[in-house]
Structure 1
């Protein structure tokens, strides 16, 4: 059954990926109407999240953010499909890094953990691997359908990215350190952890929630530098990203200090342009479950 679904879906995805960007965004406008107006995909979750995170805004202001977000969501989905056939050169023109010298200066000294949220054009961060000498890894959750999982790995591999699961990360880091292989490990770190793995709670957009600390723990254990990738959407199909060093000596930072710095950076981005955050995640679902001090 999984193979059948893949065989049926893949030709359509490939054809969509071949569309020029102008037509791709016309399709996105149509898809927005279906997803938001007709289906109402996770609209209750999105509306609730925006209200929780931005209570100071009026209902009209929050509704405007909601609509802009769904326009961005359909753009992002189709841009991800476009990656099937797009060239490295095209992505490099549309996803620009503003200060590569910052990354390269640190890269010359040690391997790096790159932290960023589900914000703006995170799907195109794979283009980084075409511009650095280090090996690039992205920590991901395996897709249940093995055929789609293989497809995603192939897409990322076009840019040089190697996908690894969370359970593989420490083994890969240790192996690369032993062989002196410079590496960059990318972590999307803004989702809500399982309650069984919630060891640290912090205010995020003014709400006490459990937060992922795996990237910080790995950095402290292995001595890797930590950099935040600040992304901005300039206009449809165009993004820029800036490297913000959080620590080149994580073992000297108090516990959870790096995680706090990461959350502060994410908050700044959300408050500046909230429509580009991934509001469909149930990020605040554990907000009333913090252990009593």
Structure 2
């Protein structure tokens, strides 16, 4: 059944990926209308998140942000589909980096890099970094899709530009193996995930509310003394993004506990507050806000 669903859907996605951008975004507009107005997908969740994370705004503002975030979400989903066939030159034109020199600087230190991203603007096209001829192997750490056929499609799409996807369960083993072999890599990870409550050992404030915090990126970087950057992505226009590497540390092992995570959260919060439309508000990031904090958990301060 899963194979059948895949082969029914994939040809449709392939055709859409071939559309010129003006028509491509018309399809996104149609999907937005269906998702937002007809289906009402997670509209309640989005409004609850907005009221919690961005208090003291008018209902008109909340509605505008909600609509804007759904429009952006539909664009970003289709932009992943566009990656099936987008030419390298076109991707580089649409997803630019302001300071590639920062990556080259770390290369001189002979270190691998953890590139921390949030569910903000575009994290799907970050694989454009592979098109710049850097002396690094690019990796994306992701959560495996349940349908194996769609999982393979997602991997094939994201690996078109000579990068490689590894599951979160494989990440530590793969990175340690690469380090032992002298293989330098840039490892991109979306780090504002919600840990399962049973594994929620670290808590802190995010957008003003105390919730479980994912600390995997920091722990991994510190254990292997990697360099860490936050990927600051701005949406300049529809289908155009500008990314900047914000240095967090060159020597993760030397940083005090929670400093890396604190810096990441501060950078992400700043972007969300400035232009909230481009955050993925459908994500149930604050679903554990009312859960009791385990006695053995660590609640670390934000600074």
Name the TM-score class by shorter chain.
over 0.9
Structure 2 length as normaliser, TM-score?
0.94
Partner of 1:7: 7
Unaligned runs of 5+ in 1: none
> How does 1:107-186 map onto structure 2 within 5 Å?
107-109=107-109, 110-131=111-132, 132-186=134-188
Separation (CA, whole Å) in 2 of partners of 1:8 and 1:53: 39
Instruction: For residues 255-293 of structure 1, give each alpha carbon's deviation from its aligned partner in whole angstroms, at most 9, with x where no partner exists.
Output: 111111110010000011000000000000011225268
Report the aligned-residue RMSD: 1.1
Separation (CA, whole Å) in 1 of partners of 2:170 and 2:208: 33
Separation (CA, whole Å) in 1 of partners of 2:233 and 2:249: 19
Matched pairs, number: 293
Offset at residue 108 of structure 1 (A): 2.5
Partner of 2:28: 28
Separation (CA, whole Å) in 2 of partners of 1:250 and 1:219: 6
TM superposition outliers: structure 1 runs of 4+ over 4 Å? none
Offset at residue 153 of structure 1 (A): 1.4
Separation (CA, whole Å) in 2 of partners of 1:183 and 1:24: 33
Offset at residue 15 of structure 1 (A): 0.5
**2:80 and 2:157 in contact (8 A); partners too:** no
**2:226 and 2:253 in contact (8 A); partners too:** no
**2:202 and 2:212 in contact (8 A); partners too:** yes
Partner of 2:19: 19
Unaligned runs of 5+ in 2: none
Separation (CA, whole Å) in 2 of partners of 1:184 and 1:107: 10
Separation (CA, whole Å) in 2 of partners of 1:179 and 1:136: 16
Separation (CA, whole Å) in 1 of partners of 2:286 and 2:197: 12
Offset at residue 3 of structure 1 (A): 0.7
Separation (CA, whole Å) in 2 of partners of 1:152 and 1:27: 20
Separation (CA, whole Å) in 1 of partners of 2:123 and 2:69: 15
